[in-house]
Amino acid sequence: ELEGDLREEADLYRQNLIETVAEFDDEALEVWMECGDLSRDLLNRAIRKGVLAGKIFPAYSGSSLHNKGVQLVIDGVVDFLPSPLDSPEVRGHIPESEKELIRHVQKDKSLCALAFKTATDQHGELTYVRVYTGKLKSSSGVFNPRVGRMERITRIFRMFSNDRDPVDSAGPGEIVTVIGFKKTVTGDTLCEKQDPIQLESMQFPEPVVSVAIEPKTSADRDKLEEVLQRLAKDDPTFRVTSDIETGQTLIHAMGELHAEILLHRITQEFRVPASTGEPRVAYRESLNMTTRGDEESQIKVGEKTLFGHVVVELRKNPKSVTPSYREELDPVLAKELKPYLPSIKEGLLSAAGSGPIAGYPMVYLDVVLVGGSVSPDSDERAYSMSAATAVRKAYGGGKPALLEPHMQFEVTVPEQFMGDVINDLNSR
């Protein structure tokens, strides 16, 4: 019970609420004009009409982590949001066509349902399904237009937290879980094969938080990989990638809490001991000036001597994200070297792929073949080795540098904070 100033402030906000929502319900408006107040039922009815009209958007504060305000949100869903019968139609299209299809909730008997979530527990894989029209029946088949095949429904359950209530069927508006699907994933439409429909596909935002993860023992590596793939299948907003440069396995989530929940499931639910950390920085290397390398090789193989001679020039090019190759040769020399050019190119780019400081990938670099020579003992292997050695020789004269990642971003702030934000950015 509120007291004092808080009660007065709450009463003021209540009157503002009543004044706003009364215009959506004639009876509520009349009662408010006569009595200056509304009963809870009448107030909820007026709010609901405003929500259904798209004019009111209730906002709640709370925290599911601390179980604060959750019950009020659930009550609001029941009191204000539309029931399936309030949504007169469902729009989709013919599979592999753009022709629109409309299904009416109360009129159409043909099945139209959406698999909006998959989950894996100790009993196997569950698919959460929302039925729009028709009926979903246990021990029957449904058609998945995305994969173009029938899926078998083994059992249907109505879920109550972790408890399951088996049911024989589910109708419009019902949300149930299904066991038995093999190919169905989040966002798939379920329908009848003789009357197919494809609902609009679900769009998922890109993850914003990345965490490096590895098993605590090598024996758990395969198990961790299996668990990560299973979680990624259940949650489309969760991604798993492997950084080729750093060798790390990275998990990408929608926020810190999302990542913490996933890590808790990995270690507690699936019992895979794992360590986490920040992703390693992917450095790059480059040269600050043009440089040249000249290498002539004479390799002894048995009684035979293999010859190769390459002259390369390394030039800085800010537009070249990866080392690019080209030739600037005298026409006569180009003709003589033609049989060996593929081997020369391979050797040059292979050596130019990693930098001289710490072996990070090279960027902003043009690799230009500018000279060389041939002899009766010329050999592809020798030219490839000469090319690689010429690049490594050239590195020393190019003033190599280690490059750190940089990013471009836009900051939008209220005008009164502009100076403080600019000063903060400049100090970094």
Judged by average pLDDT, the poorest of 61-75, 92-106, 345-359 is 92-106
- Residue spans per domain, the chain: 4-80, 89-199, 212-277, 285-403
Q: What is the dihedral of CA 411, 415, 417, 419, to 10 degrees?
A: 80
Question: Above 80 in pLDDT, residue 428?
Answer: no
Question: What is the enclosing helix (H) or strand (E) of 389?
Answer: helix 380-395
Span 220-259, pLDDT tens digits: 999 999 999 989 988 989 999 998 777 899 999 998 899 9
Q: CB neighbours of 43 closer than 8 A, spacing ≥ 6?
A: 17, 18, 21, 28
Phi-psi sector, 258: left (phi>0), alpha (psi -120 to 50), beta: alpha
**Does CATH number 2.60.40.3080 belong to domain 89-199?**
no
The closest of 185, 394, 192 to 293, measured between CA atoms, is 394
Buried b (16+ CB within 10 A) or exposed e, 246-285: eebbbbbbbeeebbeebbeebbeebebebeeeeeeeebbb
The second-level CATH assignment, the architecture, of 285-403 is 2-Layer Sandwich (3.30)
C-alpha to C-alpha distances, 244 to 211, 239, 360, 361, nearest whole angstrom: 15, 16, 12, 11
Whole-angstrom distance, CA of residue 86 vs CA of residue 239: 36
- What pLDDT is attached to residue 323? 93
Span 186-215, pLDDT tens digits: 899 999 999 999 998 888 888 888 899 999
Q: CB neighbours of 237 closer than 8 A, spacing ≥ 6?
A: 204, 205, 207, 253, 254, 258
**Helices in 184-266 by DSSP H: which ranges?**
221-234, 256-264
Span 247-303, pLDDT tens digits: 899 999 998 899 999 999 999 988 999 999 988 777 899 999 999 999 999 998 888
The second-level CATH assignment, the architecture, of 212-277 is 2-Layer Sandwich (3.30)
Q: Take residue 262 and report the two structure tokens written for it.
A: 């996933």
Q: Take residue 326 and report the two structure tokens written for it.
A: 């080209």
User: pTM of the prediction?
Assistant: 0.56
Q: What percent of the chain has pLDDT over 90?
A: 61
